[in-house]
Chain A
Amino acid sequence: QLQLQESGPGLVKPSETLSLSCTVSGGSISSSSSYWGWIRQPPGKGLEWIGTIYYGGSTYYDPSLKSRVTMSVDTSKNQFSLKLTSVTAADTAVYYCTRRHRVGSGIYHIDYWGQGTLVTVSS
């Protein structure tokens, strides 16, 4: 059973960099049918897709965050990471790491989610 677990600081100061990691257990991050990603949810609001990374390093980011986001993969640790620079209060949210899985020719779905971690941006 695949499991994803987010880790990182729960409080970040404005203008600083938010850094989170996601540890994958029960499966390999180097799976050719898996894409890894981050989704966030501001308190009381809906879900926002941040981006996706493939184990080979290909990345896809939401255009609204692209200038501030970097994702990376560490296959030796079976982990992937998110960095979001120049944060403001608007970046306060629960951050989920996810797996997007290819189940067939051209068919994908996000099937595994971490439990989520609340990151608050405040001085």
Chain B
Amino acid sequence: AIQMTQSPSSLSASVGDRVTITCRASQGIRNDLGWYQQKPGEAPKLLIYAVSNLQRGVPSRFSGSGSGTDFTLTISSLQPEDFASYYCLQDFNYPLTFGGGTKVEIK
């Protein structure tokens, strides 16, 4: 199975900060990488698919980049509603595998 290593596992940031979260795959996954946001008590929500495609309704401050094995989620200006956990998911082959998650907390 492809291992997804996500970092950092947690971070503290302030409103307005630029935040970057990374995921590294144990092998190449083309562009089959998505990012999800999860708030406490809620189901995850798709933010970005195929590395850099913004899901409908997701604010443009979210962006994704990368290729092959290294991928990045960037929040350009952190908003109060962005404090949550974030997960990457490789959709290249089965079994699908998630990164370990990043909890974004208020500084």
Residues on A close to B: CB < 8 A? 46-49, 52, 60-63, 96, 100, 103, 107-111, 113-116
User: CB distance B95 to A114 under 8 Å?
Assistant: no
Report which of B32, B43, B95, B98 forms a contact with A46, defined as CB distance below 8 A: B98
> Do the beta carbons of A110 and B94 come within 8 Å of each other?
no
Q: Which of B5-25 contact A (CB under 8 A)?
A: none
Q: A117 → chain B, closest Cβ, in Å?
A: 11
Contact A46 B101 (CB under 8 A): yes
Give the 4 A-B CB pairs with smallest separation, nearest first: A109-B49, A113-B43, A49-B96, A60-B94
8 Å CB contact of A109 from B42, B91, B100, B101: B91
User: Cβ of B96 and Cβ of A109 under 8 Å apart?
Assistant: no
Per-residue contact bits, chain B 25-46, to A (CB 8 Å; 1 contact, 0 not): 0000000101010100011111
Interface contact B49-A103, CB-CB below 8 Å: yes
13 contacts between A and B (CB under 8 A): A46-B98, A46-B100, A47-B44, A47-B87, A49-B89, A60-B95, A61-B95, A107-B32, A109-B46, A110-B91, A111-B49, A113-B45, A115-B43
At the interface, yes or no: B55 with Cβ under 8 Å from chain A? Answer: yes
Residue B97 at the A interface, CB < 8 A?
A: yes
Instruction: For the complex, give the distance between the alpha carbons of A110 and B89 in Å.
Output: 9
